[in-house]
Amino acid sequence: MVIQKGKQPQRARLAVAGARNATESVFGASSRADRIGNVLFRSLLLLGMGFALLGMVSIIVWSFVDGAPRLDMNLITAGPSSITPETAGYRTAILGSLYVIGGVILFIVPVGVGAAVYLEEYADQTRWWNRLIEVNIQNLAAVPSIVFGILGLAFIVRGPLDLGFVAAAGSLTLSLLVLPTVILASREAIRAVPPSTRLGSLGLGATQWQTIWHHVLPGALPGIITGVILSVSRAIGEAAPLLLVGAVTFVMFDPSFFEGQFSVLPVQIFNYAGRPQEEFRVLASAGVILMLAVLLVMNSFAIWLRNHYENKNAR
Amino acid sequence: MPDNSGHETTGTAPGTTGTAPGTAPGGVGTASPDEVPVFELGDVSVSYNGNPALAGVTMDIGAKEITAFIGPSGCGKSTLLRSLNRMNDLIPGARVRGELLYKGTDLYGASVDAVQVRKRIGMVFQKPNPFPKSIYDNVAFGPRTVGMKGSMDEIVEKALRGAALWEEVSDRLRESAYSLSGGQQQRLCIARAIAVEPDVILMDEPCSALDPISTVRVEDLMAELKNHYSIVIVTHNMHQAARVADRTAFFSVQVDDTGRRIGQLIEADETGTIFTKPTDKRTEDYISGRVG
Amino acid sequence: MAHSSMAASTAGASPRRPLAGAGTSRWGEKVIKTFLALCAAFSILVTTGIVISLVVPTVNFFGQIPLVEFLTGTTWAPAFANPSFGVLPIVVGTLIVVVTALAVAIPVGLASAIYLSEYASSRVRKVVKPALEVLEGIPTVAIGLFAFFFMRPLAERYLPFLPWDTPFSIGIAGVAVGLLIVPLVASVSEDAMRSVPAGLREGAYALGASKMRVSMRVIFPAAISGIIAAVVLGTSRAIGETMVVLIAAGAGNPNLTFNWFGSAQTMTAYIGGTATGDISQGTVVYDTIFAVGALLFTMTLTMNIIATRLVRRFREVYE
């Protein structure tokens, strides 16, 4: 409404050619200080990231170099010894870890995914108890692992459950420790399933559980599996809470789930490392290699599984 | 025709249709010192990861006036706009070819710094995107970036007045920019853009997220701004182009032999001419609502 | 898919259920829902269990040792013949670890996050992000060994003029804990930065801002709540980290010390170290585990609550 007409000189390309020469180069590069600042900043960022990567690579390389002399069959098949580090190994600790981790998986998959399904699909967020559960899970995820050890000692080893210092107690303790992680990861995965999937199924007359079982969970599966595997890897490497629930280090006989002493790989490594002789340090490093190898295999498995399901869903 | 909606810009056009192109060279109106176009485009094409989005655009964009890019979606008008201040650099795989001169300088020349380009050629986006800072800090961000001398308070006030927002926000400059309405946010973004005193302001569908009343305010503002800045606006709204633009460029999508859809410039001319007497059949179809 | 199409095709043939009262045949649904709700409620049980397991022995402990003596005493020697229960030495040990760890993890983690979010090409990101995940997955025992057998000797070799009196160093343990929390700090803050709307980034670039300016003046402030959350989570992890300190910082000193280079104990290392020994139930020493645990729990919980508040306040300002 306020536009005046007529300020529209016609522009011919020819007329411009001359004017172009008169125009000085308008875009000099940035000032020197600016350029140096930017380069410096970028270098600092790279330095920081390089430090993190260097640290990671150093840990792995150092363990391999240090533990290489003891990469033999005894490492896996021989039991522990405090006298003959040259032939001692991790047999009982590996078995203990297998029991403990097996129990963790059996526990966290149904309970963790179940809790996530409830919170995402059923829970009415306006109810105070549902909000309480949510806040509670977030806080639990940040509780130090050793505090779970205290809980295990007081409630699982002793107290109401009274299991004693057995693999089952260690298993349950670690399950409680990683449960919040599993729930949070599963919730993310479930939330990522588009609402239209649910509406489509409900619109066909499926019940809520049918919808969840046939449509939501399959869609969320890759994310859930990733969450479970990450939690299990954490449980494999976790030692602190198990110190409290009796992962005794020198277990001479193959353990069982509900009876007898048990140990796990990281606790056994910790104990070897605390011994003065040089050979035990090498043995400890060799144990670290073992653990890193297992974790690497598991993570690769997670990625393979995730890709497999993503392909299947895409088809 | 939609032109007769009471807007003076286009209202004059029908009466003088035949003479419009002819009268311009005579320098009707003010003796503008900006005889030089701000942009000269020669056979410009843009591709993403080797897929051409826009090809063969040759046109001039004049100074101190409003040029509108119109056309159906996917015709590459936003893509072209973004190559005018090298925002396309931020998209991995984007490539601009051809001659793209700003006041005679090759925008994509080897010695040209994209950051410097954007200091001269500002941009306002489709969705208002104020920073999560106070109103004051939003406007001051650009001047601080450029390192402008003088009182920051004055710079901010000048920019806000320039964007016709000062009266509404002068008493709450320290409040979050998010406390403003959508229309106010967009005018804040315009204030932010003009605070660095650019030569050109590019606007990418600046009103598409606004209600009609806010749209009118932004359009009024544009009409005022063109006294100081060259403005290029992309709009999907033909009426808006007719209302505000001095010149209009119509783009369309062509399908080539391999089935790829590539944007093309069909024609560019005085707005009145484009809307009343287009040369090309495709423009006419689009304008009259038969296509798009 | 197969399921729903089948249900649709048979619906016409089978007698339809009446609309009203259909709920009575939904017992299965109800049982399932109840089971799922119990799974979710189980977490409350866990928290309650933690609180009870800490509170009962702690109350018992403070029946014998005055609270003031515990919180202000500067000698920590619960198992000595002449025991002393001043918790400050191990609290200070924890503080040294946390401050050192943050001094490492904040610059390194944030630099990595900014680089990955604003600078890195997708190729670089594809390599670096999984690498950081690997670092995050390395067991803490391994990092403890690395700190004790590699970092500490390395530090003494290249910085021989510093007072390395024992093979243990609480400071080196802190650096290792810092390395341990880098991936956490980096990934949480990178997520926060990447979720800053693209429009803000474009808006800043369109004003002629350089990458550094966009990163530091637009993206960083806009993502600040997520970055604070990342740092707080990292702090929480550092406070609670046990194995690295247990291995690399040694058994410590009963007296209050700020010696970065020497051996010192943290709260977690005390709990872990004492529990591995043979301590019988019902003694005061046994109860100290729980009293220290209660202190640890209170500290991390308080920090989490503060963090949640902080994050919420920033959200209110910006949204």
What pLDDT, on the 0 to 100 scale, is given for residue A238? 93
Residue B87: which of C200, C206, C209 has the nearest Cβ? C206
What pLDDT, on the 0 to 100 scale, is given for residue C314? 59
**Helix (H), strand (E) at residue B266:** strand B261-270
Side chain identity, residue A22: A
Q: Residues C43-59: pLDDT tens digits?
A: 999 999 999 999 999 99
What pLDDT, on the 0 to 100 scale, is given for residue A300? 74
Q: Over 80: is that where the pLDDT of C13 sits? A: no
Q: Over 80: is that where the pLDDT of A310 sits? A: no
Averaged pLDDT, C85-107: 95
φ/ψ of C9, rounded to 5, equals -75, -30
Q: How far is the CA of B245 from the CAs of A234, B173, B223, B235, B271, in angstroms?
A: 63, 32, 9, 10, 6
Highest mean pLDDT among A28-42, B6-20, B264-278, C8-22: B264-278
Question: How many structural domains are present in chain C?
Answer: 1
Averaged pLDDT, A45-64: 94
Q: What is the DSSP letter of B179?
A: G
In-domain check, residue C75: no
Averaged pLDDT, B169-178: 92
Greater model confidence, B32 or B57: B57
In-domain check, residue C40: no
Please name the residues between 117 and 176 in chain B that touch chain C, using a CB distance below 8 Å. 117-120, 122-125, 127, 129-133, 141-142, 145-146, 176
What pLDDT, on the 0 to 100 scale, is given for residue C89? 93
C200 vs B131: CB contact, 8 Å cut-off?
yes
What pLDDT, on the 0 to 100 scale, is given for residue A314? 46
In-domain check, residue C38: no
Q: Over 90: is that where the pLDDT of A81 sits? A: no
What pLDDT, on the 0 to 100 scale, is given for residue A142? 84
Averaged pLDDT, A22-28: 47
Chain B residues in contact with A15 (beta carbon < 8 A):
35
Distance from CA of C12 to the nearest CA of A (A): 13
Mutate to test the interface with B, among A2, A5, A16 (most CBs of B within 10 A): A5
Averaged pLDDT, C293-306: 89
Residue A204: which of C8, C114, C276 has the nearest Cβ? C8
Greater model confidence, B267 or C2: B267
| Structural domain range at position C206 | 90-318
Q: Over 60: is that where the pLDDT of C215 sits? A: yes
Adjacent-strand bridge partners of B234: B69, B204
A27 vs B120: CB contact, 8 Å cut-off?
yes
CA dist., res. B208 & res. C47, Å (int): 51
Q: With beta carbons less than 8 A apart as the criterion, state whether A172 and A156 touch.
A: yes
Averaged pLDDT, A217-233: 88
CA dist., res. B84 & res. C238, Å (int): 50
Residue B37: which of A7, A16, A26 has the nearest Cβ? A16
Cβ contacts of C103-106, under 8 Å, gap ≥ 24: C103/C178, C104/C174, C104/C175, C104/C178, C104/C179, C104/C182, C105/C178, C105/C179, C105/C181, C105/C182, C105/C185, C105/C234, C105/C238, C106/C185, C106/C231, C106/C234
Distance from CA of A311 to the nearest CA of C (A): 16
List the structure tokens of A312. Answer: 């299947």
DSSP 3-state of B50: coil
The structure tokens 């980096």 sit at C186
Distance from CA of C102 to the nearest CA of B (A): 27
Sequence-ordered strand ranges (E) for B31-161: 39-48, 51-61, 66-70, 94-102, 105-106, 121-124
Q: Over 60: is that where the pLDDT of B11 sits? A: no
Q: What is the DSSP letter of A127?
A: S
Mean confidence (pLDDT) of chain A: 84
Residue C207: which of B141, B176, B178 has the nearest Cβ? B141
What pLDDT, on the 0 to 100 scale, is given for residue B2? 42
What pLDDT, on the 0 to 100 scale, is given for residue C11? 44
| Pick from A116-120, B206-210, C111-115, C235-239: least confident | B206-210
Distance from CA of B201 to the nearest CA of C (A): 10
Q: With beta carbons less than 8 A apart as the criterion, state whether B250 and B286 touch.
A: yes
What pLDDT, on the 0 to 100 scale, is given for residue C83? 87
Mean confidence (pLDDT) of chain B: 84
Banded model confidence at residue A296, pLDDT cuts 50, 70, 90: confident
Distance of CA C204 to the CA centre of its chain: 34
C162: left (phi over 0), alpha (psi -120 to 50) or beta: beta
What pLDDT, on the 0 to 100 scale, is given for residue B8? 39
In-domain check, residue B3: no
Q: Which residues lie below 8 Å from residue A263, measured CB to CB, with a gap of 6+?
A: A80, A92, A93, A96, A247, A248, A249, A250, A251, A255
Q: What is the CATH number of the domain that holds C121?
A: 1.10.3720.10
Total Cβ atoms within 10 A of residue B178 = 15
| Structural domain range at position B177 | 37-287
Total Cβ atoms within 10 A of residue A112 = 28
Chain A: residue whose CA lies nearest to C175: A55
Q: Over 70: is that where the pLDDT of B116 sits? A: yes
Mutate to test the interface with A, among B67, B101, B105 (most CBs of A within 10 A): B105
Averaged pLDDT, C273-291: 82
Q: Over 90: is that where the pLDDT of B248 sits? A: yes
Please name the residues between 147 and 166 in chain C that touch chain A, using a CB distance below 8 Å. 148-150
Total Cβ atoms within 10 A of residue C80 = 11
Q: Over 90: is that where the pLDDT of B5 sits? A: no
Q: Over 50: is that where the pLDDT of A12 sits? A: no
In-domain check, residue C121: yes
* Residue contacts between A and B (CB atoms, under 8 Å): 98
Distance from CA of A63 to the nearest CA of C (A): 8
Banded model confidence at residue C4, pLDDT cuts 50, 70, 90: very low
Chain B residues in contact with A8 (beta carbon < 8 A):
24, 28-29, 62, 65, 246-247, 270
CA dist., res. C218 & res. A82, Å (int): 59
Q: Over 60: is that where the pLDDT of A17 sits? A: no
What pLDDT, on the 0 to 100 scale, is given for residue B18? 37
In-domain check, residue B11: no
φ/ψ of B122, rounded to 5, equals -85, 170
| Pick from B18-27, C205-214, C302-311: least confident | B18-27
Q: Residues A242-276: pLDDT tens digits?
A: 999 988 777 777 888 888 888 999 999 999 988 88
Longest CA pairwise span in chain A (Å) = 101
Distance from CA of C143 to the nearest CA of A (A): 7
Greater model confidence, C145 or C25: C145
Chain B residues in contact with C217 (beta carbon < 8 A):
141, 145
Averaged pLDDT, B246-273: 90
- Say yes or no: A14 contacts chain B, CB-CB below 8 A: no
Class of the CATH-defined domain A74-314: mainly alpha
Mean confidence (pLDDT) of chain C: 86
Averaged pLDDT, A280-285: 93
What pLDDT, on the 0 to 100 scale, is given for residue C19? 65
| In chain A, domain spans | 32-69, 74-314
Q: What is the CATH number of the domain that holds B69?
A: 3.40.50.300
Q: Residues B135-159: pLDDT tens digits?
A: 999 999 999 888 888 899 999 999 9
Q: Residues A86-104: pLDDT tens digits?
A: 888 899 999 999 999 999 9
Side chain identity, residue C77: A
Question: How many structural domains are present in chain B?
Answer: 1
What pLDDT, on the 0 to 100 scale, is given for residue B268? 92
Please name the residues between 94 and 133 in chain A that touch chain C, using a CB distance below 8 Å. 110-112, 114-115, 117-119, 122-123, 130, 132-133
What pLDDT, on the 0 to 100 scale, is given for residue A60? 92
In-domain check, residue C278: yes
